[in-house]
């Protein structure tokens, strides 16, 4: 079963604009990760934020985590056509469990 839900399900923006995607989850976590998936390809890891962190940056990416609200957001600044992809959040549980639980994904379309 999917743990997280991404919002929106689909997002279309123009090149140069910022894109914000949100993720909500249900159980306590050790970390939350964001992945990108281009059509027909595997997932590429973007960023990992641990439960004791509130914000993390990597290049044009900014991730926030609010464990009290069980939510995270991914901001892509100055988007490019190459950012067109599906974006998934995945939660790593607290405790000894081994599996990442993925959300349903946001499909981002960046047009010229």
Partner 1 sequence: GAGVSQSPRYKVAKRGQDVALRCDPISGHVSLFWYQQALGQGPEFLTYFQNEAQLDKSGLPSDRFFAERPEGSVSTLKIQRTQQEDSAVYLCASSLMASGAKETQYFGPGTRLLVL
Question: How far apart are CB 107 and partner 1 at their closest, in Å?
Answer: 9
Instruction: Calculate ∠ Cα 25-49-89, nearest 5°.
Output: 40
Nearer to partner 1, 98 or 112 (CB): 98
45 with 35: CB under 8 angstroms? yes
Q: State the minimum distance, in angstroms, from the CB of residue 43 to partner 1.
A: 4
Nearer to partner 1 among residue 9 and residue 18 (C-beta): 9
* Residues at the site binding partner 1, with contacts judged by CB under 8 A: 1-2, 4, 30-31, 33, 35, 40-45, 48, 88, 90, 92-93, 96-105
Closest to partner 1 by CB, 18 or 58 = 58
Angstrom distances, CA of residue 28 to CA of 17, 44, 49: 33, 24, 14
Q: Take residue 2 and report the two structure tokens written for it.
A: 């999917």
């Amino acid at each position: 079963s999917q743990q997280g839900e991404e919002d929106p399900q689909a997002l279309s923006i123009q090149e140069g604009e910022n894109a914000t995607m949100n993720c909500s989850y249900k159980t306590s976590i050790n970390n939350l990760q964001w992945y990108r998936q281009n059509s027909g390809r595997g997932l590429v890891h973007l960023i990992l934020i641990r439960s004791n962190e509130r914000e993390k940056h990597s290049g044009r990416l900014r991730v926030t985590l609010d464990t009290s609200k069980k939510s995270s957001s991914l901001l892509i600044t100055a988007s490019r056509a190459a950012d067109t992809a599906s974006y998934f959040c995945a939660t790593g549980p607290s405790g000894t469990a081994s599996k990442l639980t993925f959300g349903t994904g946001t499909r981002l379309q960046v047009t010229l």
